[in-house]
Structure 1
Amino acid sequence: MTLLQIIFAEVPGGLVMTGQLLLSLSILVFVHELGHFLAAKAFGMRVDKFYVFFDFGGKKIFSITKGETEYGLGWFPLGGYVKIAGMIDESMDKEQMNTEPQDWEFRSKPAWQRFIVMIGGVVMNVILGVIIYAFWLNQYQERYIPVAEMQEGVYAHELARDLGFETGDRVVAVNGSTPERYKDITPLKIYFGGEITVERDGEIKDVKIPGDLFKQIKEPLFSPLYEKVVVQRVFEGSNAEKGNLEVGDVIKGVDGKETTNFASFGELLRSHSGKSTTIAVNRGGELVTLNVDVPEEGKIGFESNVTTDTEKYPMKDYTWGSSLRYGSREAFATFVTQVIGFGKLLRGKIPVRDSVQSPVGIATIFGSVWDWSKFWLLTAMISIVLAFMNILPIPALDGGHIVFIGIEMITGKPVSETVIEKAQVVGMVFLLTLMVLVVGNDILKLFGI
């Protein structure tokens, strides 16, 4: 266990969720604002403040002044800011804007320099997302199944079978591209529609994926045909315990039928809901048959560790080079998925309540157990999501500033400061109102409302 995992081992789940969320946001906000800061300094702009989290009301956890810049940690953990002299921003410092422009101010610099300063935060979030994805693949995934090694095809779950797939199908293309890794056969964007090409009994078949598949997803479309399912924990008083299932048992079959992965085991077990059946396990090299009563919900009460059967699938290691390449793909796929999802949200095809989450909802995704693999994966995803959200053309966001600079670059005339100030106020009111509604929605969800 790592030091943080040991420290949080006895901490209530809610605090662990909060701790993970705050650490993730701290990293992401710092890197985002660093992008603005470095670009501003590179062009000779004076930076008055660099804050991680907001210091509303002048209240802060700590601050230190070095040179012309005050660096600090605010108390309100839903963002941060870099206050650049001569720029209309969250501070709404009208006094400074009423003075004569100085060479070191934002407003005195060429439009292309101001554009780079404003896009700097988004660029840094994208770069960070790529780096974290690459790190996560290399350090936590370590290896992957090459699709070329899956000659016997994949296991098709119930939803996949409803779409027209069959167990044993060998995926040869996704939206016209040849997948390299097993993970690539179901990229995020496929759940918003597309086409998967499979080889079945020597014939090539194209299976259309509907655009609303994301609404139906409760489990993956596919699983590797061969997995090792090892009992990790048996719940006290459960039917698994009553049937003498033990930690370390390797699941081999149900009711005399072989199961080669967790999905096939689960489906066979559910087919005996409300009945008694037998489960075959490998216990210390011996095949043992257990009699188990299966409740109506089809679960007997144990946790398992499911890993790829490396005897069936020769695995390939992630090198730092391949990790960076695939990490870039993961980041791009996350961004594209955000674009597609946002488009469907605007067209009313996705319920707003189910698709937008506040930090309260995000904290619950992190979970009550400190898992570094999950932490870094979610942080990478959130970094890309923040990049997308900040590029939206909403006043008070980076995208709003970029729109005004873009208008100036096209027309040759800057947008008046009065218009920008009013738009900034409208944007801030809109974002704060949206945040209140989203937080309220997530709180209601916690209570099942």
Structure 2
Amino acid sequence: MDIVIKLAQFLLSLSLLIILHELGHFIPAKLFKTRVEKFYLFFDLKYSLLKKKIGETEYGIGWLPLGGYVKISGMIDESMDKEQMALPAQPWEFRSKPAWQRLIIMLGGVTVNFILAFVIYIGMAFAYGDMFVATADLKDGLLIENPVMQKAGFKTGDKILAIDGEKVAKFDNQINANIVMAKHVLIDRNGDTQTITMPIQFVDELSKQAKSPLVSLRMPFVVGGVDDDSKNKDLQPKDIVLRLNEEPAKYFDQAKAILEKNKGKLIVAGILRNDKEMQVPVQVDADGKLGIHTAALDLQSLEKLGYYKVSKQEYGFVESFPVGIQKGADQLVGYGKQLKMIFNPETKAYKQVGGFAAIFNIFPSSWSWEVFWNITALLSIMLGVMNLLPIPALDGGHVIFLLYEIISGKKPSDKFLENAQMVGFVLLISLLLFANGNDIYKAIVGK
């Protein structure tokens, strides 16, 4: 069932992004009276799953879910329709239109992608607002158990004050992504501020470790259930461990360290059960475990117990616009930084480039509209930026040639455009094979 939910989110998000991107080309083409021969979700290699011709356009769904396309008459694209291009240009064809109109048609897809992302972020700000823990309220700092982070110089209890000079006012999901792309991180360690310079191959080192958050909130030790073979039957679900062997164990990482020191011993645990404190003897096994599994608490429960002060920021309709636009701009800049890292061989970040499997795995196994829209907005930005790359088979390649034509007044020959399209297609296939090859490699080696 989990994989069905992941697949449903993946296909819904991908379909939405493809249809709207292609509409971005379709609508201006129609406005400029340019004939659109096909409008397809997914590729119809050899055959279609569904198709219907309305007017001059065939609408359909292909069987190969690697994208989608609109086929515009008189345009040198992936269809490489040389027979049509050999005929005299017709008034309804793309090649007959003024360069400025062709430029608008080509930029339509990425424009829609960026607009969609900003609209989603605005809508999310209005619908969900922001829930976070302010940095000033992180009295005991953050949990840092990722070995790559520890190797870089971070420790549990550190507070993240600034990333590349940008003040970190709150802890939220974005902080991990920002650290990945950072060069310098300013921290507070027991009242002493210091700057950690991130290793150049930080991303590559992360890829060699099991996936875990770089930083996270420190959580209490909450009993989720007791194993059948456990000797600690006096513990009950929802018990919260406060002390172990008379040592404070406010957080799970503290409790873990105390248990490690008391392997094989019978000790006393101070717990909170139904708002009452009590003591329970517990047997620590040879591995430093209690034979139980833990549970997580949401932010509201953590606030009720006094662990954190949770801030909730709600936005009115008008207020949502600047908030959503800023979030979209931050994500756009962040993705630009990721691309810069990928194209820098020293970082070895290119090893983390993923294909469709990587995108599929972004989606959670439980349905959440908030998470779905957040991922879709990010993917929309990624799709827009990737399509602007100056590769002839992508929108960005066409835009480069059109800008050259507008500036110089000279139109590249159809033969040149055909050759450029073929080179671009080879580059695009190579990138696709590399990205999806990375997915396969990671699946084989388990990283």
TM-score, reference length from structure 1: 0.81
Q: Which residue of 2 aligns with 1:33?
A: 22
Q: Report if aligned partners of 2:226, 2:233 keep a CA contact under 8 Å in 1.
A: no
Structure 2 residue ranges without an equivalent (≥5):
none
Tell me: CA distance 1:68–1:202, structure 2 relative to 1, closer, same or farther (3 Å): same
Q: Deviations over 1:48-99 (max 9, x none)?
A: 2211111111x11212333332222111111001112221112222232223
d(CA) in 2 for partners of 1:85, 1:270: 71
d(CA) in 1 for partners of 2:268, 2:96: 78
Tell me: CA distance 1:362–1:238, structure 2 relative to 1, closer, same or farther (3 Å): farther
Tell me: CA distance 1:303–1:93, structure 2 relative to 1, closer, same or farther (3 Å): farther
Q: Which residue of 1 aligns with 2:309?
A: 313
Matches within 5 A, 1:332-347: 332-347=329-344
2:351 aligned with 1:354: yes
Structure 1 residue ranges without an equivalent (≥5):
1-10
Matches within 5 A, 1:19-58: 19-57=8-46
Q: Which residue of 2 aligns with 1:17?
A: 6
Q: Report if aligned partners of 1:174, 1:185 keep a CA contact under 8 Å in 2.
A: no
Q: Deviations over 1:242-276 (max 9, x none)?
A: 45543333343444343444555555556667776
**C-alpha deviation, 1:224, in angstroms:** 4.6
2:177 aligned with 1:188: yes
Q: State the secondary structure of the residue aligned to 1:55.
A: strand
d(CA) in 2 for partners of 1:63, 1:436: 29
Q: State the secondary structure of the residue aligned to 1:349.
A: helix
Q: Deviations over 1:170-227 (max 9, x none)?
A: 65544333344333883634423333445677776544444444345555454456x5
Q: State the secondary structure of the residue aligned to 1:44.
A: coil
Counterpart among 241, 246, 256 of residue 256 in structure 1: 246
Counterpart among 246, 251, 260 of residue 236 in structure 2: 246
Q: Which residue of 1 aligns with 2:274?
A: 284
2:89 aligned with 1:101: yes
Tell me: CA distance 1:135–1:154, structure 2 relative to 1, closer, same or farther (3 Å): farther
Q: Which residue of 2 aligns with 1:4?
A: none
Q: Deviations over 1:325-352 (max 9, x none)?
A: 4443443333333333333333323446
**Paired AA for residue 380 in structure 2:** S
**Paired AA for residue 56 in structure 2:** E
Q: Report if aligned partners of 2:353, 2:438 keep a CA contact under 8 Å in 1.
A: no
d(CA) in 1 for partners of 2:319, 2:256: 34
Counterpart among 149, 152, 163 of residue 139 in structure 2: 152
Q: Deviations over 1:293-335 (max 9, x none)?
A: 3664879552422333335415122315555544434433333
**Paired AA for residue 407 in structure 1:** Y
Counterpart among 39, 47, 50 of residue 62 in structure 1: 50
Tell me: CA distance 1:358–1:314, structure 2 relative to 1, closer, same or farther (3 Å): closer
Q: Report if aligned partners of 1:87, 1:107 keep a CA contact under 8 Å in 2.
A: yes
Q: CA RMSD in A?
A: 3.6
Q: State the secondary structure of the residue aligned to 1:424.
A: helix
**Paired AA for residue 297 in structure 2:** V
Q: Report if aligned partners of 2:132, 2:170 keep a CA contact under 8 Å in 1.
A: yes
Q: Report if aligned partners of 2:40, 2:69 keep a CA contact under 8 Å in 1.
A: yes
d(CA) in 2 for partners of 1:183, 1:238: 38
d(CA) in 1 for partners of 2:225, 2:372: 26
How many residue pairs get aligned? The number is: 433
TM-score, reference length from structure 2: 0.81
Q: Report if aligned partners of 1:193, 1:211 keep a CA contact under 8 Å in 2.
A: no
**C-alpha deviation, 1:141, in angstroms:** 6.6
Q: Report if aligned partners of 1:228, 1:307 keep a CA contact under 8 Å in 2.
A: no
Tell which deviates more after alignment, 77-86 or 318-327: 318-327
d(CA) in 2 for partners of 1:394, 1:142: 38
Q: Report if aligned partners of 2:242, 2:272 keep a CA contact under 8 Å in 1.
A: yes
> Percent of counterpart pairs with the same letter?
34
Q: Report if aligned partners of 2:226, 2:232 keep a CA contact under 8 Å in 1.
A: no
Q: State the secondary structure of the residue aligned to 1:395.
A: coil
d(CA) in 2 for partners of 1:441, 1:327: 33
Tell me: CA distance 1:196–1:101, structure 2 relative to 1, closer, same or farther (3 Å): same
d(CA) in 1 for partners of 2:269, 2:9: 39
Counterpart among 122, 142, 148 of residue 110 in structure 2: 122
d(CA) in 1 for partners of 2:386, 2:430: 16
Q: Which residue of 1 aligns with 2:325?
A: 328
2:377 aligned with 1:386: no
d(CA) in 2 for partners of 1:255, 1:34: 65
d(CA) in 2 for partners of 1:435, 1:79: 12
Matches within 5 A, 1:295-310: 296=287, 301-308=292-299, 309-310=302-303
Q: State the secondary structure of the residue aligned to 2:398.
A: helix
